[in-house]
Structure 1
Amino acid sequence: MTERVSDTLHASKADVWYLKEIAFGSTESKRKLKIITQNFNGPCSFIAICNILLLRGQIEILPYERGTVSYEFLAQLVGEYLLMSCPDIDVSAALSIMPSTTKGLDLNPLFTGPTSFRPAGEGGELKLFEQAGIELVHGWLVDPESEEYRVMKHVRDYDTAVTLIADADHVTKGQLLTQTADVWGGDAGGSSQAEGSSGAGGGPSGYASHTSPCDSYSEKDKEKIEHALVSQAFLDSTKSQLTYHGLFQLASVLQPGSLVALFRNSHLSVLHKREGEDSSLYSLVTDHVFLQEPSVVWERLEDVDGVGSTFVDSDFVRSTPVGGDFAGHTAESALQALEMEANPDAALARQLQAEEDGRSHEIYMRRQRQQEIRRVQEREEEERKRKNEDGASRKSKKRKDKCVIM
């Protein structure tokens, strides 16, 4: 009974989001507004859409004094905005897509363009962003100057890379993922994204020049294995789903003053490029732990892992959180320290949740690969049956022809 009550309370809290007051805009037109903070593993996609519309002044939460909002309230607000500002779109279709944004989007970024995504399924979620006039971007890009670009420009997107890895793992009978370094010689098909060096042994990336198991494969399979090794190395070295080349590309393609939805770490956040001399990129801080920290509004996006990122306030001045003096701390370490001071139990729960999320991600990736391997095996089995049937049919035809001739 206690567990059921606890689950109910957790679900009810997860469906209600707290509001935080910030200021946004140029010096002449700066205005106060409420943004939506994210609690537990809240729907980052839907919250990002709503916060961008709030920052643009396209929707407004009233009365201003309210401290929380629900999904139903926000869905109605966004639906009314689409109805009034986008008369040509099918609002009912948009509203039917909206609930899926609360559960996470199945996005498939292309490694060659910051605004390029291949929709998964019917791609309705991407349509919702388009209808709301919100650009979706990512920085998970391969550097054209790197050795791996030769392969990744053909692999192109994440889903294809996962399928290729699973396919090659099947060809090698499970050796690709379990014994990469030992079997394939040296650095397993390349290096980290930052290094960008080629594979060992002077041959194609990822192959040793000495005799190795790859000698027994056809040229087509060798190429598949090589591309899979490079793809695996790229995914392993860019686990934050952001590269320095991608960061530079975002800084160059985004217009000053723009507000876009950034896909990173399998989440969506609000990304802003300031106008004026400071053209840095800033991510809106929506974590619930900073609800009572008015000086923590944006996080400057300065590196791919968040190690050197810093918090700033509404004026984009370095933060001075009331929770303590965090001078010299990175955004990540300040967040951990604030959580520990405010609520040690919550901090521990968050740490355990992060570890669980990491394990879940690994399980998800493993399942994806296993599913792809099964699909490959099924295709091969069907092809083998078809060839056997064709062979039997040809033999039967020869026997019949022979009888006729006799």
Structure 2
Amino acid sequence: MSSDGGEDNAAPRHDEDNLISHQDNLRESIEELWYLKEVSFRPSPDAALRTLKIITQNYNGPCSFIAICNILLLRGQIEIQPPERTSVSYDYLARLLGEYLLTATPGEDTTAALSVMPATRKGMDLNPLFTGTTAFRPAGEGGELKLFEHAGIKLVHGWLADPDSPEYQILSRTQDYDTSVNLIVEADHLTKGRLLASAEVPAEPEAGGSSSSGGSYNTLSRDDRQKVQDAVIIRDFIDKTQSQLTYYGLFTLASAIEPGQLVALFRNSHLSVLYKPHGPDGGLYTLVTDQVFLNEASVVWERFEDVEGGMSSFVDSDFIHSSPAGGDYAGYTAESALAALEAETAGLTLEERGDAELARQLQAEEDERAHQAREARRARERAREELTASQQHVPRSALPADEPAKKAKRKGDCIIM
């Protein structure tokens, strides 16, 4: 009967749905499992050199949450146990951080900070002001900022407008990113969608005349026309500073951060650990937490010295320049990752081993993406080197008689994170 056939078909579909749901949950669990890397750190010149483990992150790792935990680890305010542990989960770190907040701030209301922690799995809603390195507007109930406050971590950014720049006067009125974007959206609506398609500031119409821009701009009030002009300037500033950092902001950070200070840096919609070591160097460094450097012991910090990152270089725990053995992705191989998975899944049941097999498959897919990125980068480097070499060794006789030999130009190496 048709009803019997329907029941028979429903059961396999139900099982398949359960399997898909189970695999999705497992995928989320794997994405929330982060490997630990052993580093050395000396918090002050007279302090002993400490060996500790920091948290590395994969592509989908919650950078804000991991940055907070890594700062507390470097300070020695939390500790991952046992020492032989090779990975941690979100749940483990959340308990560790929650316990720290409760014991470090006795008597204070930590409700807002603790309630926002689950949201850190997907990131944080941070709204920087263009007028100060430590200026952020709270989002929602402000739990994000309370989390940093109770953890005793300074949150900074370098997305600042230079007071001598033409856009500063406008940005000092809108102040923060969200308000500035809202003005752009409002101005785009006033111009019926033409603002974002235009690269020029609409001209102010002369008395008795009309604007050269034409269209709906002519019908706007003076206040609305001013909004449009301000929005274009703000839009151009945001377009020119897509890395969410300016040189004025970088120089301000360099002078504002004290030697030995660990802070959380907001940049590129990403949160990282920023540190200024003691000594005559006076430079700024960000902690390297990318999982692809897991087995590169000499890659611990990255020098933070330009807006786009093209001049960055890696250093070790002693802030001595390091050269990764096999390029940006060296030290993180399918073999090492799968070996770690094998060690952690030993003694599992058949069903659990099936889950582990899926975990290995997901890990292999991530390794393949890293491998493809590495090969593409090496191919570009070889092509650039071959082109440079061919230009440098062209015999003079091969050039036209009226054209002098030209010296080949070589761009500086750019490390792409």
Per the TM superposition, whether the score is higher than 0.5 is yes
- Provide runs of 4+ in structure 1 moved above 3 Å: 1-9, 91-94, 337-344, 348-351
The answer on whether the counterparts of 2:295 and 2:332 sit within 8 Å (CA) in structure 1 is no
The match for 1:389 is: none
CA distance in 1 between partners of 2:267 and 2:234 (Å): 18
> Is residue 107 of structure 1 aligned with residue 126 of structure 2?
yes
Aligned AA (2:254):
A
TM-score normalised by length of structure 1: 0.73
CA distance in 2 between partners of 1:291 and 1:163 (Å): 41
| Pairing of 1:10-29 with structure 2 (within 5 A) | 10-25=27-42, 26=44, 28=46, 29=48
How many angstroms does 1:22 deviate by?
Answer: 0.2
CA distance in 2 between partners of 1:340 and 1:85 (Å): 39
The match for 2:370 is: 347
Deviation per residue, 1:274-302 (Å, 9 max, x gap)? 11211111010111111111111111111
Q: Alignment RMSD, CA only?
A: 2.5
The answer on whether the counterparts of 2:131 and 2:175 sit within 8 Å (CA) in structure 1 is yes
How many angstroms does 1:111 deviate by?
Answer: 0.3
The answer on whether the counterparts of 2:112 and 2:142 sit within 8 Å (CA) in structure 1 is no
The answer on whether the counterparts of 1:140 and 1:243 sit within 8 Å (CA) in structure 2 is yes
The answer on whether the counterparts of 2:110 and 2:150 sit within 8 Å (CA) in structure 1 is no
How many angstroms does 1:100 deviate by?
Answer: 1.5
Report the secondary structure of 2:140's partner residue. Answer: coil
The match for 2:185 is: 166
Aligned AA (2:369):
A
CA distance in 1 between partners of 2:169 and 2:268 (Å): 25
The match for 1:245 is: 248
> Is residue 86 of structure 1 aligned with residue 105 of structure 2?
yes
Deviation per residue, 1:172-217 (Å, 9 max, x gap)? 1111112x13xxxxxx24xxxxxxxxxx98x79xxxx973324443
Report the secondary structure of 2:370's partner residue. Answer: helix
- Describe the shift of the 1:4–1:319 C-alpha distance in structure 2 as closer, same or farther (beyond 3 A): farther
- Describe the shift of the 1:350–1:74 C-alpha distance in structure 2 as closer, same or farther (beyond 3 A): farther
Report the secondary structure of 1:260's partner residue. Answer: strand
The answer on whether the counterparts of 1:37 and 1:286 sit within 8 Å (CA) in structure 2 is yes
1:287 to 251, 275, 290: 290
Report the secondary structure of 1:33's partner residue. Answer: strand
The answer on whether the counterparts of 2:36 and 2:86 sit within 8 Å (CA) in structure 1 is yes
Calculate percent identity across the aligned residue pairs. Answer: 59
> Is residue 321 of structure 1 aligned with residue 324 of structure 2?
yes
| Pairing of 1:1-400 with structure 2 (within 5 A) | 7-25=24-42, 26=44, 28=46, 29-178=48-197, 180-181=198-199, 188-189=200-201, 211-213=212-214, 214-322=217-325, 324=326, 334-335=328-329, 345-347=368-370
How many angstroms does 1:32 deviate by?
Answer: 0.4
Report the secondary structure of 1:176's partner residue. Answer: coil
The answer on whether the counterparts of 1:259 and 1:271 sit within 8 Å (CA) in structure 2 is yes
How many angstroms does 1:27 deviate by?
Answer: 5.2
- Describe the shift of the 1:112–1:300 C-alpha distance in structure 2 as closer, same or farther (beyond 3 A): same
How many angstroms does 1:96 deviate by?
Answer: 2.2
How many angstroms does 1:233 deviate by?
Answer: 0.3
CA distance in 1 between partners of 2:178 and 2:85 (Å): 42
CA distance in 2 between partners of 1:211 and 1:94 (Å): 52
The match for 1:197 is: none
CA distance in 2 between partners of 1:255 and 1:18 (Å): 30
The answer on whether the counterparts of 2:39 and 2:300 sit within 8 Å (CA) in structure 1 is yes
The answer on whether the counterparts of 1:148 and 1:230 sit within 8 Å (CA) in structure 2 is yes
- Describe the shift of the 1:234–1:348 C-alpha distance in structure 2 as closer, same or farther (beyond 3 A): farther
CA distance in 2 between partners of 1:74 and 1:340 (Å): 25
TM-score normalised by length of structure 2: 0.71
CA distance in 2 between partners of 1:210 and 1:245 (Å): 35
Report the secondary structure of 1:134's partner residue. Answer: coil
Aligned AA (1:212):
S
Report the secondary structure of 2:322's partner residue. Answer: coil
Matched residues, number:
319
- Describe the shift of the 1:238–1:295 C-alpha distance in structure 2 as closer, same or farther (beyond 3 A): same
Report the secondary structure of 1:259's partner residue. Answer: strand
- Describe the shift of the 1:38–1:172 C-alpha distance in structure 2 as closer, same or farther (beyond 3 A): same
